[in-house]
Amino acid sequence: MKFSEVIGNGTVASALSSMADSGRVAHAMLLYENEGCGALALALAYVQYLNCSNPSGGDSCGECPSCRQMSKLIHPDVHFVFPVNKGPKTSDDKPTSESYLKYWRELALADPYFTEADLQRAIGIESKNGLIAVAEAKSIISKLSLSSVSDGYKAVIFYLPEKMNQETANRLLKMVEEPPEKTIFLFITHAPEKVLQTIFSRCQSIRVMPLTKEEADRVAAMKPENDSEDYNIFMDLFSDLMRSLVSRDLMGTLECGETMAALESREKQKAFCTFAGDCIRKIFMIQQNMPQLADVRAEEQEFYADMAGRCGKTFCSRSIANIEKVVGMIDRNVSSKILFCDLVNRMFLSI
């Protein structure tokens, strides 16, 4: 991937290419983003640029052997680490990213803006939490101890370091602190506050900015169509919830809470929360007389206008805050039933 192919975040791309040009390449960097804003695309473009044998104008050539290997994600000196778990797509008892590399490549090549839920689905562990376990640290350390195949940079693109436990971090720490020559770690996080401090403090951090609406539309347009099924399920559930709320139907509201809690994985539950938060922001925008910012699909305009007219003035801001709290709690092993029942109850009280 070339920098010119990355959507949005031109300032970050320029900062990365300038860093490479200056020769002062940070050996550990943390790119933090809201999910889906292109941190992986930037990391891939950066590594491709660093190893390109014929760069020009602040971008890689896209044609040299190294660029061609990067374009298929098969560069022998570029390694990927991401959260995994046991699942039907591998027979490994203690799987590492290597066990799922084929699926990672397919996903990242089709859509470098994928979400954590997309990754879970791609590697077949939808119903489990992905983790970065100590076996992963051992595997990375042994790979980095070998001399590089090319004479360029060795890179580890480390997706979601917040999924790494203390033991894994301890193993990796020395390597991150003093990597072998021309070796870099690029961590991509959606939750910098959850990255272990020992790792975080050793990284130069870079904020990947949210995409503008026009950029997000371009990302959405290039995504494979696999999200439409989720969209319909989520939209049905969200509209059922809103209709129950505005008609003061407590039983209907609680049933929606139960349906949310029964979504098949925590990732799916979080994805629904994000979806519902976005929908409520649309209602808020319409209430503020800024429907152009709500960006509502034509077939949903009547629904949103109706809801905006029937929700109280503080419903949206309170609900968004409550939903964000729930997202934070989902990973903490709190019963989903209790979480979602409490959430819809609060929404009911603030409607």
Nearer to Zn ion, 3 or 272 (CB): 3
* Chain CA centroid to CA 236, Å: 24
Nearer to Zn ion, 50 or 81 (CB): 50
Q: Which DSSP state fits 269?
A: H
Nearer to Zn ion, 67 or 323 (CB): 67
Give residue for tokens 């994985």: 265
**Residue 295, phi then psi, degrees to nearest 5:** 50, 60
Please, what is the minimum distance in Å from the beta carbon of residue 131 to Zn ion? 35
Nearer to Zn ion, 64 or 341 (CB): 64
Tokens of 342: 């409490």
Nearer to Zn ion, 55 or 83 (CB): 55
Rounded CA separation 263/266 (Å): 8
Rounded CA separation 67/54 (Å): 9
Please, what is the minimum distance in Å from the beta carbon of residue 157 to Zn ion? 18
Expressed in angstroms, the distance from the first to the final Cα of the chain is: 47
Q: How many residues bind Zn ion (CB under 5 A)?
A: 5
Rounded CA separation 120/60 (Å): 31
Looking at the DSSP bridge assignments, the partners of residue 84 are 131
Please, what is the minimum distance in Å from the beta carbon of residue 57 to Zn ion? 12
Please, which residues have CB within 8 angstroms of residue 212's CB and are 6 or more apart in sequence? 8
Nearer to Zn ion, 75 or 270 (CB): 75
Give residue for tokens 């209709």: 243
Rounded CA separation 32/158 (Å): 12
Q: How many residues does the chain have?
A: 351
Binding mask 97-116 for Zn ion (x = CB under 5 A): --------------------
Which of 211, 330, 325, 225 lies closest to 277, judged by CA?
A: 325
Binding mask 201-240 for Zn ion (x = CB under 5 A): ----------------------------------------
Please, what is the minimum distance in Å from the beta carbon of residue 72 to Zn ion? 13
Q: Count Cβ atoms within 10 A of the Cβ of residue 148 and give its class: 0-12 exposed, 13-18 middle, 19 or more buried.
A: middle
Binding mask 113-152 for Zn ion (x = CB under 5 A): ----------------------------------------
Nearer to Zn ion, 45 or 351 (CB): 45
Nearer to Zn ion, 27 or 75 (CB): 75
23-82: contacts with Zn ion (CB under 5 A): 52, 60-61, 64, 67
Nearer to Zn ion, 28 or 42 (CB): 42
Please, what is the minimum distance in Å from the beta carbon of residue 155 to Zn ion? 15
Rounded CA separation 61/18 (Å): 16
Please, what is the minimum distance in Å from the beta carbon of residue 58 to Zn ion? 13
312-351: contacts with Zn ion (CB under 5 A): none
Please, what is the minimum distance in Å from the beta carbon of residue 68 to Zn ion? 8
Please, which residues have CB within 8 angstroms of residue 318's CB and are 6 or more apart in sequence? 346, 350
Please, what is the minimum distance in Å from the beta carbon of residue 159 to Zn ion? 24
Tokens of 176: 């991150």
Tokens of 149: 């195949």
Please, what is the minimum distance in Å from the beta carbon of residue 15 to Zn ion? 20
Binding site for Zn ion (CB under 5 A): 52, 60-61, 64, 67
